[in-house]
Amino acid sequence: MKERIDREQLCGDITPCSFSFEIILENPIELHRVIVEITDVNDHSPTFQNDDLKFEISESAVPGSRFVLESADDPDVGLNALQRYFLTPNDYFVLKEHANPDGTKFAEMVIQKVLDREEHPYLSLKLIAVDGGDPQRSGTVNIDVTVLDVNDNVPVFNQTEYRASVIENALKGTYVTTVNATDTDSGSNGKITYYFSKLKGNAADMFSIDENSGLVSVLGQIDYEKDKRYEIRVEAKDQGGLTDSSKIIIEVIDVNDNAPVISVMSFSSTISEDAPPGTTVAVIKIKDYDSDDNGRVTCSINEGMPFQIRSSLSDYYNLITDVYFDRETVAEYNITIIAIDSGSPPLSSSATLRLSLSDVNDNAPVFEKRTYSVYVSENNSPGLSLFTVSARDSDWHQNARVSYFLSEQQIGGAPVSSLVSINAETGVLHAVRSFDYEQVKKFSFIIKAQDGGSPPLSSNATITVLIKDENDNAPQVLYPVQTGGSGVAEMVPRSADVGYLVSKVVAVDVDSGQNAWLSYKLQKATDRALFEVGAQNGEIRTVRQVTDKDAVKQKLTVVVEDNGQPSRSATVNINVAVADSFPEVLSEFTDFTHDKDNDNLTFYLVLALAVVSFLFVTCLVVIISVKIYRWRQSRIFYQSSLPVIPYYPPRYADAGGTGTLRHLYNYDVYRTTDSRKSDCQFVRPCSQNVLVVDPTCTGTTQRQISQKSVLDETDSPVEQKPPNTDWRFTQNQRPGPSGAAATPEVAVGTGPWPNPPTEAEQLQALMAAANEVSEATNTLGPGTMGLSTRYSPQFTLQHVPDYRQNVYIPGSTATLTANPQQPQQALPPPQASGAQPEPPKAAQTPASKKKSTKKEKK
């Protein structure tokens, strides 16, 4: 063979493969056809046209899907030709062989398992084609399968729960956490966006999330006290709409940004001041919305408060009292409750409670003083405001409403309400009646101040009312006693020297102090050059020697004036006889008195009858009234039992020596004819007796008036009647100029009087006897004398006080003083009132002879 025979070149895929040629033989030439059949030799391997096969298969391809593979080419034939295909083992594809009608074989790749791009996005396979030769030959081709993505995977978070914390009050934009989700898909199927879902409460306003990165940050104002924890659902979504979700738990970290809150659950704004310690005043709740130490609260009250605060339940406190209260010291309390937490820095809050104490009547009214002295001038008008008392009660309202009352007590036998009254509301003290200093100089009583509490409390104060004297009483002449007419009272012998004591004017003024300082002066006199009066002592003395030219009858008018403003005065007429013998004096004064008797006889008779009738009716009415209205008597006035000789004014009491005489004279009361318009009036003492030498009367009468005072109204002002001087002594009771008289106990000639009596004393006694006889016989008559004697009880000398210290003996230069050791000469014995005694005859003087001759001629 000249060269190698290649069947595939010669025949290709035709089988059998042969060729022919002619052979000429030369010896023998022979022509022969030679057919040469070429037997195939497996000298070729199966080959593929391409080195790589590329497929893009969607992962959504369903199992059974077929993909035709490229056929291999093997020029060999027969058994040496392509016999089979083989696919490298895998889980997704299987190989199925098929024969073409021309006998060629091809293979298909069939999906037996769903492709998963996320698991095997690329598959690299090999297709092997093998022939049947020996040795067997094969050819391979790479199959690259690209799995196309399908949105078949949801996004998946890398954590099922995210935890984060954020401090409260964090600023906006503060980082909280980042969430992350993955999607195995590719492309748009794997692009994820984040968002919150199903937010509760105000979480949407508190946080925000970046949709691309998943970063969570603070959006609003975070408050631990509102939300201590946030649970937020977050979702991740791909472009195909597949989603996944997770949870974010955000813990809020507390900051001490809240002060404790004080709430008063119960509070009594008023409590009684006698509430015992331990009384609950208020129940308080204190809450701090912070946590841990930031919410741990300590509660207290301001210092100095008498209260305690105690914890009862959780967050609850009781405010209780700690002491006994006194509303009068502190009326209300401002209690400050302070709550402080334990944060850093600590925060605090406070609340103030105003607690008032209700009053309890535990304080009595208190006067400014315990005693008050009130001065009021006498003769005040009834209803005059005297004084205002005031008592303070430190309690409140009704407990402090003070009323004033007079305590029930007696002053001088009469209730105090008859003297003063008091306004219960204002405490103004008023005079109920007009006061008389000469009756009452001062009196004391108790005023009670009582509050309006229950039970009421009271206190007392003593009021002393001091009556100030006014010059409302004129001087009263005690001696010589004045009657309707003035008789011979004193006799001055013609032999009297200069300074001879003729008489002494004795006067008193029942006022006091300066109003009772008396001065004497001679107002009128028959012969001013003969007599003078001592300005201080009232002594009447001769200024010069008495001569025969001086008239027998001398009339002196003495004015007694007090020192008050304005001053008051009284006058007294004194008849002085200038003679040496009694008959001379008697003749002169008998003519003088006889002329007036005839003119006044009728007047005195009618007056006497009227007085007796009035006294009888008055006594009868008084007795009946006392019996019936005895219960209405509210004041008892005492009658003096001491007679006064000479006449002394009622109510005179001057033991201090401010008046002329140092003697105490009692007084009584009498009632007026209209007691409803006037107050209690004073009755003259029933034992006042007056020694009077009355030239208009020739007899002596006695009368004793005793009237009992009846008060129709206890608060009426006091009135005073003028003194009644219509008194007479009987002959056996008539004192001499020195105030002494004979009594059964004192024998004649044995008393303290000088023995024997002077001529002047004898003359006065004889003149008194003559006047009594003349009065009994000429004026009244027997019938009238009997009536006078019936209603005129006789006085005994035991009723007559000794006033010798105030009487001067005429003709003497010294004042007679009482001396019990000195013998006393009694006056001449008494004479019968019905007989007309003849005066004793005395030696006639020239003057008396002339008067007798003149009388006979008439």
Percent of the chain with pLDDT over 90: 32
The encoded tokens of residue 521 equal 């002066």
The encoded tokens of residue 3 equal 């060269």
Residue 589's pLDDT band (cuts 50, 70, 90): low
- Please give the C-alpha separations between residue 345 and each of 170, 224, 228, 256, 337, in angstroms, as whole numbers: 18, 17, 21, 8, 20
pLDDT in tens, 340-363: 999 888 999 999 999 999 989 999
| Average pLDDT value for residue range 643-658 | 38
Q: What are phi and psi of 446, to 5 degrees?
A: -115, 135
pLDDT of residue 541: 92
In this model, does residue 654 exceed pLDDT 90? no
The encoded tokens of residue 118 equal 């996320």
pLDDT in tens, 475-503: 999 888 876 555 546 888 888 889 999 89
Residue 634's pLDDT band (cuts 50, 70, 90): low
Lowest mean pLDDT across 223-232, 316-325, 654-663: 654-663
- Classify each residue of 688-720 as buried b or exposed e, where b means 16 or more C-beta atoms within 10 Å of its C-beta: bbbbbbbbbbbbbbbbbbebbbbbbbbbbbbbb
Cβ(850)–Cβ(858) under 8 Å? no
Question: What pairing do the DSSP bridges indicate for beta strands 458-468 and 371-377?
Answer: parallel
CB neighbours of 654 closer than 8 A, spacing ≥ 6? 508, 510, 512, 516, 661, 662, 663, 664
Count H helices and E strands in the chain, helices first: 6, 49
* Mean residue pLDDT across the chain: 74
Higher pLDDT: 128 or 730? It is: 128
d(CA 51, CA 72): 11
The encoded tokens of residue 623 equal 């007795």
Cβ(832)–Cβ(785) under 8 Å? no
DSSP state of 829: P
Give the residue among 293, 374, 396, 298 at the shortest CA–CA distance from 338: 298
d(CA 529, CA 532): 8
d(CA 296, CA 342): 6
d(CA 168, CA 181): 28
Cβ(670)–Cβ(762) under 8 Å? no
pLDDT in tens, 392-433: 998 888 999 999 999 988 888 899 999 999 999 999 999 999
In the three-class reduction of DSSP (H, G, I as helix; E, B as strand; rest coil), residue 36 is classed as: strand
Q: Which amino acid is at 189?
A: N
Residue 79's pLDDT band (cuts 50, 70, 90): confident
Which residues on adjacent β-strands are paired with residue 751? Answer: 824
Q: What are phi and psi of 109, to 5 degrees?
A: -100, 120
Lowest mean pLDDT across 78-82, 286-290, 647-651, 792-796: 792-796
pLDDT of residue 58: 86
Where do we find the tokens 């030219």? 549
In this model, does residue 156 exceed pLDDT 50? yes
Strands (E), 368-482: 371-377, 385-388, 391-392, 403-406, 410-411, 414-415, 420-422, 428-431, 442-450, 458-468, 476-479
Give Cα 290 distance to the centre of its chain. Answer: 46
Give the residue among 513, 828, 856 at the shortest CA–CA distance from 658: 513
Higher pLDDT: 789 or 807? It is: 807
In this model, does residue 251 exceed pLDDT 90? yes
| Average pLDDT value for residue range 725-739 | 37
Where do we find the tokens 């407990």? 399
Cis peptide before 455 (omega within 30 of 0): yes
Give the residue among 702, 755, 762 at the shortest CA–CA distance from 736: 762
HEC per residue, 553-603: EEEEEEEEEECCCCCCEEEEEEEEEECCCHHHHHHHHHHHHHHHHHHHHHH
Q: What are phi and psi of 625, to 5 degrees?
A: -65, -40
Question: Within 10 Å of residue 820's Cβ, how many Cβ atoms?
Answer: 8
Question: Within 10 Å of residue 290's Cβ, how many Cβ atoms?
Answer: 23
- Please give the C-alpha separations between residue 36 and each of 5, 7, 19, 32, 182, in angstroms, as whole numbers: 11, 11, 5, 13, 73
DSSP string covering 425-444: TT-EEEESS---TTT-SEEE
pLDDT of residue 170: 92
DSSP state of 721: P
Cβ(207)–Cβ(172) under 8 Å? no
| Average pLDDT value for residue range 521-542 | 90
Q: What are phi and psi of 514, to 5 degrees?
A: -65, -30
Percent of the chain with pLDDT over 70: 70
The vertex-531 CA angle with 526 and 536, nearest 5°, equals 125
pLDDT in tens, 556-565: 899 999 998 8
Strand (E) or helix (H) holding 19: strand 17-24
pLDDT of residue 347: 92
Cα torsion 316, 322, 328, 330: sign: negative
CB neighbours of 558 closer than 8 A, spacing ≥ 6? 505, 520, 521, 522, 523, 533, 538, 540, 571, 572, 574
Higher pLDDT: 789 or 186? It is: 186
Residue 664's pLDDT band (cuts 50, 70, 90): very low
Give the residue among 741, 817, 737 at the shortest CA–CA distance from 502: 737
Cβ(210)–Cβ(236) under 8 Å? no
pLDDT of residue 717: 35
d(CA 714, CA 711): 6
Where do we find the tokens 């002047």? 760
Q: How far apart are the first and last CA of the chain?
A: 256
CB neighbours of 370 closer than 8 A, spacing ≥ 6? 461, 462
Higher pLDDT: 810 or 691? It is: 810
pLDDT of residue 283: 94
The encoded tokens of residue 826 equal 């009694």
Cβ(668)–Cβ(640) under 8 Å? yes
d(CA 554, CA 407): 62
pLDDT of residue 190: 85
Residue 461's pLDDT band (cuts 50, 70, 90): very high
In the three-class reduction of DSSP (H, G, I as helix; E, B as strand; rest coil), residue 616 is classed as: helix
Which residues on adjacent β-strands are paired with residue 450? Answer: 403, 458
| Average pLDDT value for residue range 4-19 | 78
In this model, does residue 718 exceed pLDDT 70? no
Cβ(770)–Cβ(692) under 8 Å? no
